[in-house]
Amino acid sequence: MPRTIPPIAQPTLWPAYLARYLRSWWYMIHLGAIAVVTALSPSTWRRASFHATARHIHASTWQVLPWFTLASCLVSLVIIRIVLVTAKSYGLSGLALEMVVRVLVLELIPLSAALFVALRASMAFDAAALGLARSGLSIRAASDEALRRVRRDLVPQLIANAVAVLSLAMVTSIIVLLLAYLNVYGLSPWGIPDYTRTVGRVFAPVVTAGFVLKTVLFGLAVALIPTAAVLELQRYPRALATSVQPGALRLLFVLIVIEAGSLALKYI
């Protein structure tokens, strides 16, 4: 049998692939802009929208908050002990607490919260949208139904996922800060002045604003990117070359870019 040459290996098709790639990114940005403008519009917030947003916040935040916090605290305890023991062995005990706060609270916890919410909450809308392709609807009817679901579900989910990432990150960060104090100073109250001075030095106003902004951007990316990828498949149907969740790789790329940009602004 003659071997089939993959389309990506044909240089004549590269302009078409580039155009489709750029169109895909533009569609995601356009959809996000529409969702943000719709969320800020007073006409959006009727009783049904409030109820839908409350349901999504309950599903994506309240139901998973205890389990995520417990798992994050267990992992954080291990990391805190490793950092403390390593710093003590090198004679850098004074820097251990600051290192824990910078690595765990500022970087790892928001990123893990975003990944957790992406796996737990944001895929529900995607599964519903993918079902349109199997429901016997025409491409035009499926696209119209998908747009109707955007108006009904995307804005509440966008807000709920941003709230979920922010809530999980904030609650877990507060508990991890308490665990860090107990590991460094024990139950003694005499470490509070030094502890508050160290944490305050880390959480400067600019760093705090960047931490909140980064967490909100994580939430928006988690809510928007997988949904935009699925709706794009509805609008521009094509065969999937992989079984990976649509938008998963793009979501991971955007999260890495946001994290890398945050690190660059803080430390470069």
pLDDT tens-digit readout, 209-254: 888 888 888 888 887 887 777 667 665 555 444 455 657 788 888 8
pLDDT at position 54 is 83
What is the C-alpha to C-alpha distance for residues 105 and 98, in angstroms, rounded to an integer?
10
pLDDT at position 1 is 46
pLDDT at position 74 is 92
pLDDT at position 37 is 78
* 7 found inside a domain: no
How high does pLDDT run on average in the chain? 77
* 93 found inside a domain: yes
pLDDT at position 124 is 53
Return the axis-axis angle of helices 155-185 and 192-202, rounded to nearest 10°.
Answer: 140
Q: Which amino acid is at 237?
A: P
* 151 found inside a domain: yes
Total domain count for the chain?
1
CB-based contact 28:154 (threshold 8 Å): no
Pull the structure tokens for residue 56.
């999504």
Pull the structure tokens for residue 73.
């605290």
CB-based contact 154:227 (threshold 8 Å): yes
With 60 as the cut, is the pLDDT of residue 29 above it?
yes
What confidence category does residue 127 fall into, taking pLDDT thresholds of 50, 70 and 90? very low
**CA-closest candidate to residue 71, choices 16, 17, 45, 108:** 108
Which residue carries 């979501």 as its tokens? 251
The torsion region of residue 46 among left (phi > 0), alpha (psi -120 to 50) and beta comes to beta
CB-based contact 251:118 (threshold 8 Å): yes
pTM over 0.95: no
Q: Percent of the chain beyond pLDDT 90?
A: 8
What's the rounded mean pLDDT across residues 145-167? 73
**CA-closest candidate to residue 107, choices 61, 167, 173, 160:** 173
What confidence category does residue 126 fall into, taking pLDDT thresholds of 50, 70 and 90? very low
* 22 found inside a domain: no
* 169 found inside a domain: yes
What are the CA-CA distances from residue 57 to residues 52, 114, 132, 145, 155 (Å)? 9, 14, 25, 24, 12
What confidence category does residue 121 fall into, taking pLDDT thresholds of 50, 70 and 90? low
* Count of all residues that appear for the chain in the document: 268
* 1 found inside a domain: no
Print the domain residue range for 196. Answer: 67-267
